Amino acid sequence: MQQLLRVQNFFVSADGYGAGEGQSLERPFGHADPTVLGEWAFATASWPGRRDGGGTRGLDDRLVGDFHHGIGAEIMGRNKFAPHRGPWTDGDGLDWRGWWGDDPPFRTPVLVLTHHPRPAFTLSDTTFHFADLAPAQALERARELADGKDVRLGGGASTVREFLDADLVDTLHVAVNPAVTLGGGSRLWTSPAELDHRYHRDVVPSPSGVVHHLLWRR
């Protein structure tokens, strides 16, 4: 059985940035405003944070819903997990349990890549593991954690780039918001056409204004 490595619902600006400059506790996306970058996704019925039973059920919703479908584990970079840099210390970071509160949306094992491993912990249905691994070894570990299902590559952009450079990514769903230009930060690509020699690519403009790029290996 195939266990794909999939990028899902990755939001980028018109100029290809997944986050801005200057990430901090107050601004996990740096100078980027995630409420604008991801506005199309938050409007959908399938958005993981939605609790009111409402939301749209069109194209954007189908793609947001794929966040969970067939996924058994996530790989994320440390900078997606925490604003801290360097070793975790008792006073600064070792008590940090992610941005997502007591009920994180992942609901699978999550493998956080960091040069400073720390003990695993569980919040609701999500267990965070920490390991200092190169992309190929990280994928091997995540596949074990995923119990036969696919692995989501959660980002940030520099983590996605590392796995692309190692040719480990099977599919990508990247949502480009043409209304947002960031000019700096963590960049996925200058242009999605950079990947066209390795991936097929469907370009699907949504009625919401966002443009979905769906890539799969040639």
Residues that bind a copy of itself (CB under 8 A): 2, 45, 53, 56-59, 61-63, 65-66, 69, 170-171, 173, 200-204, 206-207, 212, 214, 216
* Least gap, CB of 10 to a copy of itself (angstroms): 15
* Least gap, CB of 58 to a copy of itself (angstroms): 3
d(C-alpha 87, C-alpha 115), whole Å: 8
Q: Which is nearer to a copy of itself, 1 or 26 (CB)?
A: 1
Q: What are the distances in angstroms from CA 97 to CA 58, 90, 146, 177?
A: 34, 13, 21, 29
The position carrying tokens 């018109």 is 14
* Least gap, CB of 54 to a copy of itself (angstroms): 10
Q: Which is nearer to a copy of itself, 168 or 214 (CB)?
A: 214
* Least gap, CB of 207 to a copy of itself (angstroms): 5
**Backbone φ and ψ of 211, nearest 5°:** -115, 115
CA 45 distance to own-chain centroid: 19
Q: Which is nearer to a copy of itself, 3 or 114 (CB)?
A: 3
Q: In the chain, how many H helices and how many E strands?
A: 6, 11
